[in-house]
Amino acid sequence: MCSKCYSALEHLNPAVNRIVSAKNVYCAGVYSQNLQKLIRGLKYHNQSDLAYYLAKFMYEYWQQLTDAEDYQIVPVPIYPTRLKKRKYNHMELVAQEFSKLSGCPVNSELISRIKDTKPQYKLKRADRLINLKNAFKVNPAKLDRRRRILIIDDICTTGSTFEEMIREFEKNDIHDITCFTATTPFEE
């Protein structure tokens, strides 16, 4: 990621981009070629060093929204076999970098993926919901009740991942949740 490519990344206006399960979803940037390449490099091409740039881009947007540090950052978890194949959860790496910038702690142990789901990008909305049904499990013992939940992910297309995670959190009486992604493929 060169400085020219990074400076070409465009932020969206700092506002709620959509509502999923009555929770605010914020999307940091325009789904441009450079942002797509950044996410793909990090997610699929073993370029873990790109996590810093994605976190920085997200944090620059986040600063326009709030200076609150009372969040615990919860990256969207991946299933253990996918983690073994990929060697890292790209959103865990982004969460760690975002934590350094924001001062908010990462809580990767609060929720786990317990179902090996198909990649979402190949599925329509109804199929995404079926694919993700009962895919997550909360460990209530890991919750820091003093802090709100900030779920982070790379892309919010239909919101089905957030929807299923929120459902699982709410089953465990966890309701103060905000969702945040790097981008959305839809014009806002």
pTM of the model: 0.92
Distance CA 17, CA 25 (A): 6
74 C-beta neighbours (distance < 10 Å), count: 26
The whole-number pLDDT of residue 188 equals 43
Amino acid 89: pLDDT? 94
Q: Are strands 136-138 and 177-184 parallel, antiparallel or unpaired?
A: unpaired
Report in angstroms the alpha-carbon separations of 12 from 15, 45, 51: 8, 26, 20
At 66 the pLDDT is 74
Q: Write the CB contacts of 84 (distance below 8 Å, at least 6 apart in sequence).
A: none
What structural domains does the chain harbor? Answer: 3-184 (3.40.50)
- Distance between CA 93 and CA 52 in Å, rounded? 8
In this predicted structure, what is the pLDDT of residue 19?
94
SS3 category, 1: coil
Task: Of 136, 143, 86, give the one whose Cα is nearest residue 109.
Answer: 143
pLDDT in tens, the chain (188 residues): 788 888 999 999 999 999 999 999 999 998 989 999 999 999 999 999 999 999 999 999 999 987 677 899 999 999 988 889 888 999 999 999 999 999 999 999 999 999 887 666 666 777 777 778 888 999 999 999 899 999 999 999 888 899 999 999 999 999 999 999 999 986 54
Structure tokens at 85: 């194949």
